[in-house]
Every structure is written in C-alpha cells, then in structure tokens.
Amino acid sequence: MPVELLDKKTADSLPIHLVAKDGLESAGLAQSVLAWAEANGFAGDAGKVLAIPGADGKLAGVLFGTGQRENGLGFGALARSLPQGSWHFATRPAHPELAALGVALGGYVFTRYGKKPGKDVGLVLPEGADAARLSRLADSIFLVRDLVNTPTNDMGPSALEAAVRKLAASHGAKVGVTLGDDLLDKNFPMIHAVGRASADAPRLIDLTWGSEAAPKVTLVGKGVCFDTGGLDIKPASSMLLMKKDMGGAANVLGLASMIMAAKLNVRLRVLIPAVENAISASAFRPGDVLQSRKGLTVEIGNTDAEGRLVLADALALADEEQPDLLVDMATLTGAARVALGPDLPPFYTDDEALAGELAAASAAVEDPIWRMPLWKPYDTKLSSKVADMNNVTTDGFAGSVIAALFLKRFVEKTACWAHFDIFAWNPADRAYGPAGGEAQAIRALERVIAARFA
C-alpha cells in the first residue's frame, strides 16, 4: 500500500502533533512552535497540516488539526500532506486504530492505467492498533476500489469472474460458475435474460470457503458490469459511471476478503450474478414476462430495473439453504441517493437484533449506514395484471423501499437477511480516499459478523 504501516519507531521518524480547533495553547507545544503556528494562521482546523522547521532549517515534524471533534478517518488527510519519510504520533489519537486506518486509506492511488503511486510514507502504529487487522482491512478496501475503478472493457463479467478466482486462490476457497445457456438448464432464467444481449456471457459465480460445520454466512452482490439501461436506454450522461454498477459485487468481495483473511469461524458463500445489461436483438424487452428461479413470474415494466432481477435469482438460491446470515449489496436505486446522498447507504432488515448490531458497529468504526423501512403497504405497488409481480411501480415513489420489497419476496426461509442499497463511489476527494470507487458498509458488517460468530 502507498502508506506503509510500521510496528516500531525508527531513528529518523518525525512527530505528528495533534491540535484540536483553537487548542494550540493546550497542545503542549514549544513556544517557538506556537509562534510559528500563529504566524501561519494555523488554528487546528480539521485536516489542516503545518510543517514545523527545526533550528537547523530541516523538517522537525508537523502539526495536524483534528477540528472540534476528532474523526478517525479524517486522519487520511495526512497521507497526502506528509512529506516522504517515516512518521509517528507524538500525541496519541483518541481512536488509534481508526486514525491509522484513515492514514492508510488516504494513501490509496489507482495506478492501473499509469497514474504514479506517489511518495513513500511510513506511519508508526500508535499503541492499541492491530497491524494485522489494519492491513487486511486496508487491502480489502483497496480491492473494492480497484474493482469499481476499472472500466468495463477490463472488468466485464469474465474479468469479474477472474477477480473472484484470484481472491479465492489466495485463501484456499472454491469457485463454481454457471455460464451462458447453462443458466437456463440450472434454473437461473432472470440472470440469463438480463445478460444474454452481451458478447460477454452472463454467469453466476459461486465462491465457498470455510468448514461445512460452521455457521453459514452468505453474501450476494450485484455484478452488473455495465448498465446501458437495456432497451429502456439511459441518457448518455447517466452511463458515465455505469462501470460502477458492479459495486455490490466488489463490496461483497471486499467483505469476503476481510472474513477469509481473519479466518473467522464461518462457512462463507459468495454469490455474484455477473452480467452486462447490453442492447442487441436478443435483449429482453419492456412488457416481457420472465420466469424466476423461485417460480414467481415477473412482468418487465422497465429494463433499467435489471439489478433486482439478477439478485432475485441469486437470493432464491441462497435462501434454499437457509444461512444463519444472508446479506445482499447492490448499487440498486437512484432513489437511495436522493434520500440519503452518496455517503449514507440505506439498509433494510426485519431482524431487530441485527439492525441494532449494525447501527452500533457503524458508529464504532465510522462506517455510516442508515436503516430504512420494509414498508409492507407499498408491497402492492409491485402488482401486475398479467404476472405475479412487476419489477417497477408506475408512480415512481419510494424507489429504494420498493426495490427492497421486491427482493424480500425471494427470501422466505432465511430468518436473518439484510439488503444494502449502496453507491460504491466517492463523488469528490475525501480525507480517506480520492474520488472514485469506494467500499461502503463492509467494515460495519465485518464487525457484526466477527462478533456474532466468534
């Protein structure tokens, strides 16, 4: 990773002094440093960095502003501001592991297409930070970002399968794939219908890891590698970010990486319906009625609501073995972004205990999520005059809730299920990462899974 996490302080390691907003006088700094900070207008504003010169004119350290309230991931600003070299915290952060993770994540650069990795910065881990845990979290999040940032010409369904196989090989997991017309033979008709128009054949990727006797945790990720909208084609402006429509798949792979690297006591299964919603003579059409794996028939009100179709077949498969925990993640609706913006993914569950655990984990690890209701009266909006259900409503209201209710119809046997409607993207640079692909909700989920199945 661009920021190297170090176990021990080196002789040339320089100090990072933490300063709260308007807290210079109480920061325990030398008078000469105080005078330098005041002369430069440094007041401890969040994310601000000020280099401190030594008596010999060389760099002697930096001041880092933590603002009114210290934010762990906000320490990521240091990754891009620190001069090259080795650094340590002269002041212990309130949340040392989050602070170190923030710095590690802030150093991410997507280099596949020639961008330079940047300077070499080493951070001595503060006391209380677990180096192994931080490394596996950062590596998993970088995996998510790399997958989402890669354009579809290099991350279509076959390339996504290759990425799953690579991850599986590094952890001794098994991978099975149902490809092309075999999807019809194996009863995954909606995955086939959505992906059949693409030159890169649709597939269901099935990764398994861990002891068969361990509690079952199944993750399902939307792997729509590009979404034109199908015959209900999107405008050009709406296709610019559609390489990220496999962000659900990328995030469940990141979560799987965390679980396997930590060797949690679970039997893990990851299901990814990998397709491209393309346009050709074989594309599925508005008004078509599709058979699903579960046996429910679905009228297509809009071909641009394809993610829920491929997820439905995968969820039906997952539900058949009634895992102890079933989680799906998908870049599913624009309505979720309208309601909560890009940074706060909604999640849906009927399991009150799980909802409480997720909320507590979200706050503890600074991984924001927000519970939304599975509002049963809206379920009738999915009615169809010719089939068991429609894939959209006609009024356009409550789009994220409606999509969650659609998916819920395909999860009947599993008691503990949660759906995450994520964005998987930073629209602008953040302290903890640049604009581009992003991991969302998986650190909170990893904390819950680790606690539940310890």
- By DSSP bridging, strand 49-53 and strand 3-6 are unpaired
Considering 234, 371, 430, 452, which one is annotated as catalytic? 234
Indicate the pairing of strand 203-209 with strand 174-179: antiparallel
Active-site residue, 337 included: no
Q: What is the pLDDT of residue 187?
A: 98
Residue 106, H or E segment: helix 96-106
**Strand 417-421 versus strand 425-426 pairing type:** unpaired
DSSP class per residue in 130-174: -HHHHHHHHHHHHHHHHHHHS-TTSSSHHHHHHHHHHHHHHHT-E
The answer to whether the beta carbons of residues 230 and 193 sit under 8 Å apart is no
Residue 181, CA atoms < 13 Å, CB-side half-sphere: 1
Chain-centroid distance, C-alpha 398:
23
Considering 308, 408, 409, 443, which one is annotated as catalytic?
Answer: 308
Mean pLDDT of the chain: 97
- The per-residue pLDDT for 2 is 79
- d(Cα 62, Cα 80) in Å, to the nearest integer? 13
User: What pLDDT does 421 receive?
Assistant: 98
Helix runs in 263-333, H state only: 307-320
User: Around 285, how many Cα atoms within 13 Å sit in the side-chain half-sphere?
Assistant: 4
pLDDT tens-place string over residues 353-397: 999 999 999 999 999 999 999 999 999 999 999 999 999 998 999
**Tokens read off for 153:** 């010409």
Tens digit of pLDDT for each residue in 162-193? 999 999 999 999 999 999 999 999 999 999 99
pLDDT attached to residue 1: 53
pLDDT digits (tens, 9 = 90+) for 90-138: 999 999 999 999 999 999 999 999 988 888 999 999 988 999 999 999 9
Give yes or no for a contact between 227 and 304, defined as CB atoms under 8 angstroms apart. yes
Assess whether pLDDT exceeds 90 at residue 216.
Answer: yes
pLDDT bin (cut points 50, 70, 90) of residue 152 is: very high
pTM of the model: 0.97
Closest among 90, 124, 135 to 6, alpha carbons compared: 124
Would you state the pLDDT for residue 9?
A: 85
Coil vs helix vs strand at 419: strand
Annotation says 308 is catalytic: yes
More confident residue, 9 or 339: 339
Instruction: State mean pLDDT over 316-330.
Output: 98
Q: At what angle do helices 442-452 and 131-149 cross, to 10 degrees?
A: 140
Alpha carbons 360 and 246: distance in angstroms, whole number = 27
Q: What is the pLDDT of residue 128?
A: 80
What is the reported pLDDT for 46?
Answer: 96
pLDDT attached to residue 7: 87
Nearest to 14 by CA among 55, 72, 54, 74: 54
Strand order in the sheet with 297-299: 289-291, 297-299, 389-390
- At 226, is the pLDDT very low, low, confident or very high (cuts 50, 70, 90)? very high
pLDDT band at 57 (very low <50, low <70, confident <90, very high): confident
pLDDT confidence of residue 117? 87
Number of residues that this document lists for the chain: 454
